[in-house]
A and B are shown apart, each in its own frame.
Chain A
Amino acid sequence: MTLVKEAPARPAEKRSAAPAAGRRGRRRENLAGYLFMSPWIAGFLLLTAGPMIASLYYAFTSYNLFTPPRWVGLDNFTTMFQDPRWQKSVQVTLKYVVVATPLKLLLALGVALLLAQKRRGQALYRAAFYMPSLIGASVSVGFVWRALFSDDAVVDRTQKIFGLDVGGWIGNPDYVLYSLVALSIWQFGAPMVIFLAGLKQVPQELYEAAEMDGAGPFRRFWNITLPMISPVLFFNVLLESIHAFQVFGSAYVVSDTRCGPADATLVYTCYLYQKGFKEAQMGFASAMAWTLVVAVALVTAVLFWSQKKWVHYEEAAK
């Protein structure tokens, strides 16, 4: 999960541990370790592990918060798979992930290549491009988006100049999802910064050697840059797609609180929210949550499997 290489265990670590007053010292270290991390242990048991078990149980029950959960076996899952709105939410989410993630990463990579060159004002650009990644999650920006993409507003009028009249995107079920995609792409700064860090690691000698051999800019990008940053690319693809699967706020705020005209922005988590917190169907919502976990795990597994084919690691090459 990290770009920072783990610090190798230093020999000093072993040396200092060995003579440390034997069993009593070790027991003291254990005690200190567990005391220091007791907040995390409590949090893990109470807010992560416990709830995971609970939600797994709820997924097989009918539970409305007011009467105790009643075991219903696989009913939630069979109802869910046949539910047209659930199917719609899966479609909407997949469309969002498949469209938004590559576009965002492409832009992030393009701008990172631009910023990797030494130019004046580089740090300022880098900061400005990164900012949307921090403010993009705010409800305020959701409102701005609503205003920019609504009927007769800026985007609509700009389109008309080019003779494309689709009305505002917000009220149009065919387009509204793309306003969310645009919001996601706008936040390209976070993956861009990671790409930049990766680009800095590419040894300059490689480019010099390639240039001597007469390789053009495209060849150099394809044969040097891309393989060298493939671990970073992999990391970004993984992070951004997992993130895209869980989009919620923008769908809720930008379109409307029912998630879109004609369910057009009914992303998965929005339907989960509606089922759980509006309709108090906690069992169904838990079943949905676990299906999401399985989907995310599958995507992660496929990506990890695929990296053998395209991710280039230094160590493996030697």
Chain B
Amino acid sequence: MTTATSPAVRPTGERRRIGSLVWHVGAILVLAVVLYPVIWVLGASFKPSKDIIASLDLLPGEPVWANFSGLADGISGISITSFFSNSLMYAGLAVVGVVLSSSLTAYAFAKIRFAGRNLLFTLMIGTLLLPYHVLLIPQYVLFRNLGYIDTLVPLVAGKFLATEAFFVFLMVQFMRGLPRELDEAAKLDGCGHLRTYWSIVLPLSRPAIITSAIFTFINAWNDFMGPLIYLNTPSKYTVSLGLMMFRDQEGISNYGSMIAMSLVALVPVIAFFMAFQRYLIDGMATSGLKG
């Protein structure tokens, strides 16, 4: 496993150099496999539709823009921007909801000593293990009875009500790590909990909040089952469902545009990832958060 310490009698300098070479070859091989699909979609989006499946080349022979300009026509009379603005609305509301509700809840768990705190905390952790599917049907019935089918309400209500226990947990862990002296000093200075939360704990919890916000954005942007179940009108569709419309038409002539839109749909996620990967990876490592 550890190529660096092979039991050799070679001089250490050479040994280290060979070890390093083997290491990089191994890492680059894995990297090639991991990045292949991403580079493939990048190349395919510039290929003529007929070449996308048939051509083995990773990059297009002669790049064409037709796939992207084809996107401007939209699909079934709905413009692509409509899907994107719907997704943006969903993801934006989700971020606001999760950050607000989870940080308030986490503050209570981490900083306020109230009766029943431990019991409620256990309950909250318990919801982490519960398969989501057991709630799917009754939640659907509930939102249907309330008349919220075909709106964003069912998709974001849970985010405003701190049901994403992962994020609450992440923030609790972080807030517990903040020096207690700070909020004690605030208390002595006459700050109430609201003030302490808003001016001291919340700003200091920025890393945990950013992690939660970015994960929430990406999860909402990628979400497929939620919109599939709750949205019916194509003009309200998110990007995921818009992509499905492309696919269900199954016109090979449109294959290029479908791949181009797939690429465009990945852009926000990849951009967020590149900008915040340190937070995301560390957040993942400390809490086992799922992407």
List the interface of chain A (C-beta within 8 A of B). 1-4, 6-7, 10, 12-13, 16-17, 26, 29-34, 36-37, 39-44, 46-48, 50-52, 54-55, 58, 65, 111, 113-115, 117, 119, 121, 125-141, 143-145, 147-148, 150, 152-154, 157, 186-187, 189-190, 193-194, 196-197, 211, 216-218, 220-221, 225, 235, 239, 242-243, 245-246, 248-249, 252-253, 257, 269, 272-273, 276-277, 282, 285-286, 289-290, 292-293, 296, 300
Bound complex: CA A153 to CA B229 (Å): 32
18 more CB-based (< 8 A) A-B contacts, given A216-B7, A285-B137, A289-B134 = A2-B173, A4-B287, A29-B113, A29-B114, A32-B192, A33-B113, A36-B197, A40-B101, A54-B141, A54-B142, A55-B137, A114-B30, A143-B258, A150-B53, A187-B291, A225-B1, A286-B138, A289-B136
Say whether, besides A65-B144, A239-B290, A40 and B161 are in contact (CB < 8 Å).
yes
Q: Are B139 and A197 in contact (CB under 8 A)?
A: no
Bound complex: CA A1 to CA B170 (Å): 11
Nearest-neighbour CB distance to chain A for B96, whole angstroms, equals 12
Say whether, besides A1-B169, A131-B270, A143-B247, A157 and B56 are in contact (CB < 8 Å).
yes
Say whether, besides A12-B180, A140-B265, A293-B134, A194 and B259 are in contact (CB < 8 Å).
no
Bound complex: CA A34 to CA B109 (Å): 10
List the interface of chain B (C-beta within 8 A of A). 1-7, 20, 23-24, 26-27, 30-31, 33-35, 37-38, 40-41, 44, 52-54, 56, 100-101, 104-105, 107-109, 112-115, 117, 120, 123-125, 127-142, 144, 157-158, 160-163, 168-169, 173, 176-177, 180-181, 184, 192-193, 197, 218-219, 221-222, 224-225, 228-229, 239-240, 243-244, 247-248, 258-259, 261-263, 265-266, 269-270, 273, 277, 280-281, 284-288, 290-291
Question: Which of B134, B173, B277 interacts with A292 by CB under 8 Å?
Answer: B134
Bound complex: CA A63 to CA B219 (Å): 31
Q: Are B291 and A137 in contact (CB under 8 A)?
A: yes
Q: What chain A residues lie within 8 Å of B259 (beta carbons)?
A: 143-144, 147
Q: Are B37 and A145 in contact (CB under 8 A)?
A: yes
Question: Which of A44, A48, A117 interacts with B2 by CB under 8 Å?
Answer: A117
Q: Are B224 and A249 in contact (CB under 8 A)?
A: yes
Nearest-neighbour CB distance to chain A for B136, whole angstroms, equals 7
Q: What chain A residues lie within 8 Å of B38 (beta carbons)?
A: 131, 135
Bound complex: CA A119 to CA B17 (Å): 11
Q: Are A65 and B193 in contact (CB under 8 A)?
A: no
| Residue with the greatest number of chain A CB neighbours at <10 A, chosen from B160, B169, B277 | B277
Closest-by-CB residue of A relative to B115 is A30
Nearest-neighbour CB distance to chain A for B102, whole angstroms, equals 8
Q: What chain B residues lie within 8 Å of A246 (beta carbons)?
A: 131-133
Bound complex: CA A55 to CA B176 (Å): 36
Nearest-neighbour CB distance to chain B for A18, whole angstroms, equals 11
Q: What chain A residues lie within 8 Å of B265 (beta carbons)?
A: 138-140
